[in-house]
Amino acid sequence: MPRIRAVTTAVPEHRIDQPTAREFARNLFSKSTPDINRLLPLFENAGIETRYFSASPDWFAAPHTLAEKNLMYIESATALAAGAARQLLDEADLRPEQIDYVIYVNTTGLATPSIDARLINVLGLRPDVRRTPIWGLGCAGGAAGLAHAYHHALGHPDQRILVVAAELCGLTFLADDFSRSNLVATALFGEGAAAALVTGDALQSSGLEILGTKSRFYPDSLDVMGWSVVASGLQVVFAQRIPAIVEANAAEDFVAFLAGHGLKLKDIDRFLIHPGGTKVIEAYESALNLTNGHMDLAREVLRDYGNMSSVTVLFVLERYIRQYGFDRGGHGLISALGPGFCSESLLVRL
């Protein structure tokens, strides 16, 4: 079966701690929100200590056009994605020309040609390398990218697939939007990039063996999560019922997925789940009856980086690999939620 052979990550240069973000929000939102102090505890309750951004707080405090934001997206996403990919090639001891297929994932910026085309130039990949950009899956995109790589590798067992995700969630902040959703995003979102190498079965190597994938779409839920495109950029859409959806559906969805592989929830040794926020993590714990630190890695990534949309689940995966390595035995479940409303999941042998 195809394997996840390596995962690497990268973050932009501006490191912002949560108290700094809290004061940024107080100064900006107090202009139109007289009771801002009543809302600010959400920064402490977010479970986040630090995040990283491509621009300073002063830059975000000023209004910017969609064109200005998108230019920063193209430049920063290309640099971050290339940095993560170079590190991946080094760790896997591969030359750029050994990559056969590039899957690029994002939801926070627009580029045509897409960033994967730029990566071919920057990294020196082969001119005949295949590429697929995936846009619009939000937080589910990282898991979806791995799933697409898995299905390609099933049909091309001698190929190496580079999955790259880069998200600049800070660029979706709107300085003139004083909605609660924008305030929550200010307390939650971060930026980063990650790269993963998936190899086909003919290329024998250590790694997390992918046993199968599952997509789940929730009908009539388009308003749960996403962006509204406005003149000044992408305006965040958050529904308060996301944790309730998790609590109501996660167990049933995972049980059905695992049953197809002759497994039960109790057979999963590691839950490598996208940490959308503390309430989402708690909803998974409640729905799946998780104890004994099953969601510790998710909490650690949320604490250190915030929610980086599609990239975040890959940070969780990278942290697992660095702490525990490969070939430990047992099973892991990789999963993330995204706009649609939907989930993308992978079953792996650890």
Selecting among 99, 139, 246, 301, the annotated active-site residue is 139
Q: What is the largest CA-CA distance in the chain?
A: 63
- The runs of H, that is alpha helices, within 96-235 are 115-123, 141-155, 180-188
Rounded Cα gap, residues 303 and 44, in angstroms: 11
249 phi, psi to nearest 5 deg: -120, -20
Angle formed at CA 25 by CA 20 and CA 26, multiple of 5 degrees: 95
What sign has the CA pseudo-torsion 29, 30, 33, 38? positive
Q: Is 139 a catalytic residue?
A: yes
Q: CB–CB of 272/332 below 8 Å?
A: yes
In terms of phi and psi (left: phi > 0; alpha: psi -120 to 50; beta: otherwise), the region of 306 is left
Q: Which residues form the catalytic set?
A: 139
